[in-house]
Amino acid sequence: MAKITGKGSFAGVPFLIEESQSVDGGRRLVKHEYPLRDDGLNEDLGKKARTYNVACLVIGDDHIKQAEKLIEALEKGKGELKHPYFKRIEVRVESYKANYSTTHQRVTRFDINFVDDIQENAPKLAKNTQFSALTEYANAINALSEEFAQHVADINEFVDLLADNPLSQLVDSMLSFIEGTFGALNSVVADIGSIKMEAEDVKNRMVSLIRSPRLLAQELQGLVQFKQYKGMRSKQSLNEHAITVSVIHNAVIETTKSKTEMPKAMFDAIVNAKRNNINATDILKRNATGLHQKEIAQSLMTKAQFSCARLVISTLAVEYAKAVTEALTDSLSHEVQAIESKADIKTLIDEIDLQLEQVILDNADAENWQSYQALEQFRLAVISDLRTRGEQLSNVKSVHLTDTFPALVVQYQHSGKSQKWQQLAQRNAIVHPLFCIGGNEIEVLQ
């Protein structure tokens, strides 16, 4: 057993230890005690940092100079502690106390508290951007359906005053929109084939759905909410979703292009007047000068169609953005490579930003402020998520081939690894991976 010498030092300044030395440690417990209950909870937050309590002294005719030298070292804050019990450790000074006494001459005593000099950084607060995006997705979908439902309810309430059979007219208006938008779609991808079948089901139930505007909103949103088909790769699925968005968006524009929407100010004035129990004739005189009741009824039906169009297009944009975040999750988990590089994610972010900006401005023009705010929050959340998590993807490098090589060789030459040669072949549409034809420019994942 090594002999305890009784000598130590801090940052090269020597001292002698006294009889009592100690180490404090343990666990960081938080006690939770509840009123009117006999039980409680002790929550363990982890290990405490050790504290080394050193009682030492300097002795001699020059003890004051020795003490000043030790104090100078202590006030620098950190250094190496050499101690007969604690061995050699890197520490920081938590506190010290120097004791001078007229009773004991030629001696200065110290009580010093050291803690380990831990270099690791404290954990950083990391925002779960994916969770935020999904939360804002749900908020956006709900805001769109609630605002649509309120518009339909308001139209239904007022049109009773104008038409002999208002429910039938409103049903016909909705059926006309669904037929015009979804009836003529070509089933170029699996999404659209499924949407057309579901649209027929919604048409068959329209009479009952029109009585429950919120349920009607959910059914219309359900038509354009993307589904995952068994056996379909994530990249193929994402491409089909992009095609679906484009096809349905064009169909909606085509259905409504020859119609004019009633201004929101007039619509609100009519609805508010009805709620204030003003006579229907007076309402029309004040807010729709020169229009007959039949024309006003038709304008309200057209307003309902525009509300449908806005709901469908906005939901499509939100759904596509959500599909991209899910594809990124699949790519980062290495299950499938739907999104391969940072360049890919940048292109998708630009595409999503443009789509969402268009529907945000459309809802702002229509003064749908609840939808506008929810869509804007979703846009910010989803772009933040894609940018943050997209940093984990590979970089991509453009390479001009001077000769014909196998894909495996090209991948190794330009990235130092050959494992991604199959992705290289797929990304650049190389028919045979043994022949990357010279003279062409291809993209290589790093």
Burial of 314 (0-12, 13-18, 19+ CB in 10 A): buried
What CA dihedral angle connects 285, 288, 289 and 293, to 10 degrees?
Answer: -80
Residues listed for the chain: 446
pLDDT confidence of residue 183: 78
The span from the CA of 138 to the CA of 339, in Å, is: 24
pLDDT confidence of residue 207: 84
CB 244 within 8 A of CB 192: yes
Partners of residue 27 on adjacent β-strands: 47
CB 444 within 8 A of CB 397: yes
- Give residues with Cβ within 8 angstroms of 331, minimum separation 6: 234, 337, 338, 339, 340, 393
- Neighbouring CB atoms inside 10 A of 398's CB total 10
Question: Which position has the token pair 């057993």?
Answer: 1
3 state SS of 117: coil
From residue 426, alpha-carbon distances to 107, 331, 338, 400 in Å are: 81, 15, 11, 17
Query: What domains appear along the chain, each with residue ranges and CATH number?
Result: 7-116 (2.40.30.200), 129-390 (no CATH), 396-445 (3.10.350)
pLDDT confidence of residue 258: 83
CB 345 within 8 A of CB 388: no
- Candidates 153, 122, 174; CA nearest to 309 is 174
The span from the CA of 335 to the CA of 199, in Å, is: 33
Partners of residue 13 on adjacent β-strands: 10
The span from the CA of 446 to the CA of 429, in Å, is: 18
The secondary structure element, H or E, covering residue 212 is: none
pLDDT tens for the chain, 446 residues: list them: 455 668 999 998 999 999 889 999 999 998 888 787 788 788 888 889 899 999 999 999 999 999 999 999 999 988 999 999 988 999 999 999 999 988 888 999 999 999 998 876 656 666 788 888 899 999 999 999 999 998 888 887 776 655 566 677 788 888 888 888 887 777 666 677 788 888 888 888 888 888 888 998 898 888 888 876 554 556 677 778 888 888 888 888 888 888 888 777 777 776 666 666 665 556 555 655 555 666 777 777 888 888 899 999 999 999 999 989 988 888 777 656 677 777 788 888 999 999 999 999 999 988 889 999 999 999 999 999 988 888 776 655 566 667 776 766 666 666 666 666 666 666 665 666 666 777 677 655 55
The span from the CA of 374 to the CA of 377, in Å, is: 5
